Chains A and B, each alone.
Chain A
């Protein structure tokens, strides 16, 4: 049943009939352009709107003070409301009040007849700034005399916390070898090709606002906007239209969304804001910098005894959503390895840069990079093969289920329920011809070419709870519906849910209509993040569809005067197996239990235990995260004159449990790997020493294109998860977790003759050439 069926999303998208946020045009609509701060840090002395207001077509200019009449507060509530121990007043303002804390922070909104005029107006709003010194590098920002990122602060150290277990000091005491690394891990922005945007339309008939927004979490946006507007849930409908990618950037309620909703309510007119790419560079979340100092204790056989160290995380100017990003990193360092003791101290530091929340991978790629760099160094220093060092330390299949000595942020224990990490690595090495690589490498070197092979393992916690819900419903028209709060944003989740529903009801995926991203369609849910939707929403749909199947079979049995065990659902009908001429369509079954006023539900039967309607709502609550795992092997060539890195081969062996649609699953892996390639080699969000972003176009900030990447050779292992009825594990982020680590390992291997060490990503050609030169000159 489960199979690579074509995606139900595709035909409309291919015809140009998708409905993305910017495609929404409403009569009488005003368009917003934001006035954004040109300074990383400054006091606002005054805002003069006059010149802007004189532009024909400019309707109004709104500041925080202007919006205060329709808002319940000045700053956004902390997302998800739970982050114990954090100071108050750390979230972004709806619009700046008297201080700007990063370049691009929104100060005022100009509303005009079209975006061109709004931008004219925005250019004419005069903001009187008094610049302040900025905290830019998070390490410097920790110094006692560093400038504070926000004037209300006495320190930039937002939080410190420790993660760990076991007796590290004993482990390091007993160790035969202690090996240390100092790493910088940079990840830039999310950069979905469709940026952010929102349209709000007050109903002319009801006291109700509809907010369309390009988001990964319609229900959470509704909750926050309801809070900010002081209205109730019936007064606000939030809808995500087709979403052109998220990758983390849309997993947040942004100040701009509040402004759009508040302005529409205040002005009683539709209001639209669609960002341009520069705004995305300046004001959409980033993932950015982590600095790691780690050391590992191993015995003489390279078996890990302990890992310890510290990490500094660049948080940016505000904290909209707690500390989940650095927490994830800290919790995932040990990855697929047996690590008897572990201690990490994390410092979260505010800087005058846009705030950070997780981008695809969510802290795991950083942790994998740190751990894998350590293991490569262990191999080098002990004179062992890199794969062998990993083999000696991977958790074995007979240790499954494997409980880590750590707790997830939900408080539940971290547990790997299934998987065979050793087999996964073995398959990857075999597929990549790892054993024969030294011969190939020697031959290439004899030829003056520098090629290298790299290996990295990773795990990713997926299917994050606490729950997801689904409604499966068969209309009297015979149409089968799935209603879900899961959020399609390109992953093909609508197809996967349709397949799951169709499997239970005996119909094709194409016959199922999936209604997602609409708070009117289902009352609650969490949306798209943490590679969770096939696990959580998929399981909820499965449970609901199974319940509807049972209802349909019961009703069919009553109507066909037989017993349920002879009824099968197939091709949109209920069939009596013993009398194949006796069939009823799903629509007829729904009609039969729709009810006729005054009559019993199924009037011509004597049984009365039929229930109204063909519909079921189910909630799936995972006990804990379902961890997927993978091993990546990358082969690269490095041009020692230009520093250019060329990918020669890329092998992925991934285990995301049972696959609903292997075609879609492989697409997720390839996309994730290429995101990791971007992080490893290209993507760099750069700031000057004053906190001024210097990469604000796609010509300066490089995403991988078709010529820099290659086809991954993908092998799927499918160890079913024991934690959900489908046996699935997430996959959306799996590809990007070990990718940068594998590439770093390969580049280092290629440059062995120059003893180049990769301790930072992205690995830029400039730095490589510099390393090669330094090493060649010192070794001479």
Chain B
């Protein structure tokens, strides 16, 4: 009764070809088939945002997508954020500096949302950041550290962009 299908996709720049069950979610595929367990499941009904990934550069809830829907697409997850083992992405560093995480379970999804947002909005204000974060639930932090980290990261990313430009 299981129905399987071949899919091809890239995840964090690496190409994969796999046979998947058509009813499997993208989240389960990433976590179980590919072992990329940084993407978390907090509700499995599309509200908490913990499972957020980037699909072709845009945020999507991987608990609400089927793996087959990612066929031919490019996926980015938290594991791909840092360039290498030594360096963290400026956003990750800002989360350390500003206490943007406690248990860290909600964090990967929040990072992915902020990465997308900051690419589009180099000079966000606090209200805008809170607005974009409102699609994520965090039970630990009360959001204060997350907002502070996001603001600091925006400044840092802008500085880097100016430097590179």
Q: Which A residues are closer than 8 A to B by beta carbons? A: 6-7, 9-11, 13-20, 22-23, 25, 55-57, 116, 191-195, 242-245, 247, 276-278, 489-492, 663-664, 666-667, 670-675, 697-699, 703-707, 709, 711-712, 735
Contacts and interface: CB of A to CB of B under 8 A. Distances in A.
Given A16-B77, A17-B38, A191-B139, A245 B147 contact: no
A7 B99 contact: yes
Nearest to A116: B23
Contacts of A705: 133-137, 143
Interface centre among B88, B96, B131, B133, by most chain A C-beta atoms within 10 angstroms, is B96
Nearest to A190: B139
A245 B105 contact: yes
Given A7-B99, A15-B78, A707 B130 contact: yes
Given A15-B38, A193-B42, A706 B130 contact: yes
Contact of A712 (B106, B137, B139, B144): B144
B40 A15 contact: no
Contacts of A14: 78, 88, 92, 95-96, 101, 104, 107, 111
B40 A20 contact: yes
Interface centre among A243, A278, A491, A670, by most chain B C-beta atoms within 10 angstroms, is A670
Interface centre among A22, A664, A667, by most chain B C-beta atoms within 10 angstroms, is A667
B104 A671 contact: no
Given A10-B95, A14-B107, A192-B103, A20 B88 contact: no
Across the A-B interface, the 9 shortest Cβ-Cβ residue pairs: A16-B38, A490-B103, A244-B105, A13-B104, A674-B142, A16-B78, A698-B47, A670-B142, A706-B133
Contacts of A17: 38, 79
Interface centre among B24, B45, B99, B141, by most chain A C-beta atoms within 10 angstroms, is B99
Interface in B18-60: 21, 23-24, 31-32, 35-45, 47-48, 50
A114 to B, nearest CB: 8
27 contacts: A10-B104, A13-B103, A14-B104, A15-B79, A18-B38, A23-B37, A116-B21, A193-B105, A193-B106, A194-B103, A244-B105, A245-B102, A277-B42, A277-B43, A490-B104, A666-B99, A671-B102, A671-B139, A671-B140, A675-B139, A697-B45, A705-B134, A705-B136, A706-B143, A706-B146, A707-B130, A707-B134
Contact of B139 (A6, A192, A243, A673): A192
A200 B135 CA distance: 34
Nearest to B25: A116
Contacts of B144: 667, 670, 711-712
B103 A489 contact: yes
A20 B95 CA distance: 19
A257 B81 CA distance: 35
Contacts of A20: 37, 40, 105
A19 B105 CA distance: 10
A245 B140 contact: yes
B9 interface: no
Contact of A193 (B38, B88, B99, B138): B138
Nearest to A668: B102
Interface centre among B31, B41, B129, B147, by most chain A C-beta atoms within 10 angstroms, is B41
B33 to A, nearest CB: 10
Contacts of A707: 130-131, 133-134
B1 interface: yes
Interface centre among A25, A193, A663, by most chain B C-beta atoms within 10 angstroms, is A193
A711 B142 CA distance: 8
Contacts of B31: 22-23
Interface string B72-88: 00000111011000001
Contact of A15 (B21, B47, B81, B130): B81
Interface centre among A16, A698, A711, by most chain B C-beta atoms within 10 angstroms, is A16
A735 B97 CA distance: 22
Interface residues of B, number: 59
Given A707-B131, A712-B144, A15 B137 contact: no
Contacts of A23: 31, 37
B107 A709 contact: no
B164 to A, nearest CB: 23
B104 A667 contact: no
Contact of A492 (B38, B47, B48, B102): B102
B39 A698 contact: no
Interface in B115-158: 129-131, 133-147
Contacts of A242: 103-104
A57 B111 CA distance: 37
B42 A194 contact: yes
Interface centre among A245, A664, A704, A712, by most chain B C-beta atoms within 10 angstroms, is A245
Given A242-B104, A491-B102, A706 B38 contact: no
B1 to A, nearest CB: 7
Given A16-B37, A20-B40, A247-B139, A664 B103 contact: no
A278 B145 CA distance: 29
A242 B38 CA distance: 12
A25 B79 CA distance: 18
Interface centre among B140, B144, B147, by most chain A C-beta atoms within 10 angstroms, is B140
A495 B102 CA distance: 11
Nearest to A22: B41
Nearest to B92: A14
A56 B3 CA distance: 13
Nearest to B79: A16
A712 B95 CA distance: 18
B43 A703 contact: no
Contacts of A276: 43-44
B133 A667 contact: no
A699 B47 CA distance: 7
B99 A192 contact: no
Nearest to A24: B37
Contact of B82 (A15, A667, A704): A15
B147 to A, nearest CB: 7
A664 B114 CA distance: 23
Contacts of A664: 99
Interface centre among A20, A116, A244, by most chain B C-beta atoms within 10 angstroms, is A244
A493 B42 CA distance: 23
A13 B106 CA distance: 10
A670 B141 contact: yes
B142 A671 contact: yes
A706 B103 contact: no
Nearest to B47: A698
Given A193-B140, A194-B103, 20 more contacts: A14-B88, A14-B92, A15-B38, A15-B79, A16-B81, A22-B40, A25-B35, A56-B1, A116-B21, A193-B138, A276-B43, A278-B45, A667-B142, A671-B140, A672-B142, A674-B141, A675-B139, A698-B48, A705-B137, A707-B131
